[in-house]
Each structure stands twice: as C-alpha cells, then as structure tokens.
Chain A
Amino acid sequence: QQQVKQSPQSLIVQKGGISIINCAYENTAFDYFPWYQQFPGKGPALLIAIRPDVSEKKEGRFTISFNKSAKQFSLHIMDSQPGDSATYFCAASRNNAGNMLTFGGGTRLMVKP
C-alpha cells in the first residue's frame, strides 16, 4: 500500500507551459514534503521542500502548493523548459520516525521545444 500517491505517471508539456504534478498522502503524521528531480542516468536530487505550516513555497520557477486538510501537495513548474525534462518524485517524512522518506511513484516529464 503506497502511502504517497503521485499523478500523473507521465506528462508532456510545451515549452513555456505550466507543468503540474500532484501527490496525496495518508499519514497525517508526515511533517516534511520534499520533491526530488532525477535526470536520466543520475540519482535523484532535492529540488524543493515544504513543511505543513505554510501553504505555498516558491523557488524560482518551481512552486509547491500544500493543502493540509485535503492531504495533498503539488509541484508547479512555471515557464517549463526542455531542460526540466526529468522524472520528479514527491516524498514525505515524519520527524519522529528518523525522517525516513516515503516516495511517490514518480512522474516522467517531457517538455517539448
């Protein structure tokens, strides 16, 4: 049973468009929600993260929106670029469990020129 569900599994966006990836979680004890970005042949790398005390966090073109009551969070990539083509993973962890990460299934994003 996946505790963090991610959708869609794949996404194609035109250059300049907005990419949106959604995640839903079940465990209300989760208190840290990162997104990891993985390029082909590489390991995942932390992209951006949020804690549940805020509803939005923005870093450049990347924004996390967080809805605590719905137990959902999403990644928005504004002005998507071909260089953003990668696999994105949402994750969740809880401080009192050693901060172990539970990952979503991943979304393969392709940004077409």
Chain B
Amino acid sequence: DADVTQTPRNRITKTGKRIMLECSQTKGHDRMYWYRQDPGLGLRLIYYSFDVKDINKGEISDGYSVSRQAQAKFSLSLESAIPNQTALYFCATSDRLFLNEQFFGPGTRLTVL
C-alpha cells in the first residue's frame, strides 16, 4: 500500500551493528504496528502504538526498541543486531474507528551476517 512506506527496503548488516527501520504513513491512522515475518511462523507482533504517547510491547519485543516520532512516523531499532533477527519486517497501520483492518507497508528485508 503506497500510503504506508518503509525505508530501507533491503538492508544487509553485521552482527553487533545498530539498525533503524523507518515507517511513514499518509493514511491519518493513529495506530501503528511493527511485525516480523519468518517462513512458517507467519507475522509476529514486535511493538505497537495506539498514539504518539502510547507504545506497547508485542509478542517478541526482546532485542528491539521503537520510537513514535509523530502520528505518521514509527521507527524500529535493533540496538545490536544478531543473525536470528534476519527476517522480513513489516509496518502496519489501522484506524481507531475501523480497528480490524490493518494496512501494511511493502516490508524491509533485513539480513544480519
């Protein structure tokens, strides 16, 4: 969905490096999410934010941190990347009035060597 953008789209990094993935949305939604996708495991929630001042841990938050800089921007950081964080990362948004549909960005493929 072009309304949800992610940068970078691909990233290769080394173990121990700090990485930031960025997400921006023009949908005007107040809720934003970060997921990781691994083969056979589907999408698992890392962090979510219901508004700028409300940030919550998801199912697999260890090793990750987030920042909600504005309603439209939600960043995911890996403070010290490790190889098992190699995955496809997705940002998503939803509207508080229509909670059930989430709109996903195109994803960031991260490889940690």
Interface residues of A (CB under 8 A from B): 2, 4, 6, 9, 32, 34, 41-46, 49, 89, 93, 98-101, 103-106
Contact = CB atoms under 8 A, between A and B. Distances in A.
Contact of B100 (A2, A42, A99): A99
Given A43-B90, A44-B90, A98-B50, A32 B40 contact: no
B105 A43 contact: yes
B42 A99 contact: no
Interface of B: 1, 4, 39-45, 48, 50, 58, 90, 92, 94, 99-107
B45 A89 contact: no
A98 B44 contact: no
A32 B50 CA distance: 19
Contacts of B100: 32, 34, 49, 93, 99
Nearest to A104: B42
A9 to B, nearest CB: 6
A91 B39 CA distance: 16
6 closest A-B pairs by beta carbon, nearest first, are: A43-B104, A103-B42, A99-B99, A103-B43, A105-B42, A46-B101
Nearest to A5: B42
Contact of B42 (A6, A42, A98): A6
Given A6-B42, A34-B100, A43-B105, 18 more contacts: A2-B41, A2-B42, A9-B40, A32-B100, A42-B107, A43-B1, A43-B4, A44-B43, A44-B104, A45-B104, A89-B42, A98-B99, A99-B99, A100-B45, A101-B43, A101-B45, A101-B102, A105-B41
